Amino acid sequence: MIVVMKPGFTQEELNEIIEAIESRGAEVDKIEGVATSVLGVVGDTAYIDPDELLTYKCVEKVLKVQEPYKKANRLFHPEPTIVDVNGTKVGGGHLGIMAGPCSVESEEQVVAIAKAVKASGANFLRGGAFKPRTSPYSFQGLELEGLELLKIAKQETGLPIVTELMGVEYLDRFVEDVDVIQIGARNMQNFDLLKEVGKTQTPVLLKRGMSSTIEEWLMSAEYIMAGGNENVILCERGIRTFETATRNTLD
């Protein structure tokens, strides 16, 4: 449910309507835009009567959100979402270009690539320290050693680090050392991981699952945002279809 406020409402009026909504068991997010302000109501809204909310003189209109995702819904964000990564912004007209090696293999390799990435105009260094592979016999990444090498490349170039987190056991280390946590396609519906990442404020790059619908993808974003972390960047990487000539198919 979305409650659109009239311009010029007072703090007392705002507090009154928030109290009325929360007394019925729902949660309220206040979103202020340049042109308008809205209240995003999440949780069980069955006991909230839209007609009753319209009796408040500070309320312009009440909209029901049909989609199951709420915080990830554009209705909750009248203004474009801008994710700020240490001063480098993504969204709202700010173009973020993330580039780098599929996997980190050595200090010489990652530093050389990072310098080339920066010289080419990219503003993020993306590299895999932990690498989920289809085959258990394939190179799985240097893991924590790879993370240290990414930090060296960051020191050399100043580029923010983007790398994939595969489990909650390394979350604290990622929050400390990584600028953007990547959630890979295979973990898009790892809901325990999404919940824990949602408890942080580290920006998240959420890749679309290999056979996920748009709604399923947005619901994964909802898990992160419901935990309090709204710094979510969606990464469209295509889906698996019956077409075998290409690896990924885009809508």
Mean pLDDT over 198-223 rounds to 97
Mean pLDDT over 79-91 rounds to 94
| Cβ neighbours for 55, distance < 8 A, ≥ 6 positions apart | none
CATH of domain 2-76: 3.30.70.1140
Q: For residue 244, what pLDDT band results from cuts at 50, 70 and 90?
A: confident
Indicate if the pLDDT at residue 129 is higher than 80.
yes
Q: For residue 247, what pLDDT band results from cuts at 50, 70 and 90?
A: confident
Indicate if the pLDDT at residue 240 is higher than 80.
yes
- Cα separation, 114 vs 111, whole angstroms: 5
Look at the block and give the residue holding tokens 């801008």. 82
Cross-strand partners of 30: 39
Q: Is the dihedral of CA 148, 108, 154, 132 positive or negative?
A: negative
CATH of domain 83-235: 3.20.20.70
Indicate if the pLDDT at residue 69 is higher than 80.
yes
Domain ranges of the chain: 2-76, 83-235
Indicate if the pLDDT at residue 120 is higher than 90.
yes
Mean pLDDT over 32-50 rounds to 86
Q: For residue 36, what pLDDT band results from cuts at 50, 70 and 90?
A: confident
Q: For residue 158, what pLDDT band results from cuts at 50, 70 and 90?
A: very high
Mean pLDDT over 40-50 rounds to 89
Mean pLDDT over 47-65 rounds to 93
* pTM of the predicted model over 0.85: yes
Indicate if the pLDDT at residue 251 is higher than 80.
no
The Cβ-side half-sphere exposure at 211, using a 13 Å CA radius, reads 4
Mean pLDDT over 41-65 rounds to 91
- Length of the chain in residues, anyone? 251
> What pLDDT does residue 79 have?
83
Q: ∠189-248-160 over CA atoms, to 5°?
A: 65
Across the chain, mean pLDDT equals: 93
> What pLDDT does residue 143 have?
93
Token pair for residue 165? 């987190």
Token pair for residue 215? 């709604």
| Cβ neighbours for 26, distance < 8 A, ≥ 6 positions apart | 1, 41, 42, 43, 44, 45, 48
Indicate if the pLDDT at residue 92 is higher than 80.
yes
Q: Which of 17-26, 104-113, 236-245 has the highest mean pLDDT?
A: 104-113
Q: What share of the chain is helix, strand, coil (3-state, %, to 5)?
A: 30, 20, 45
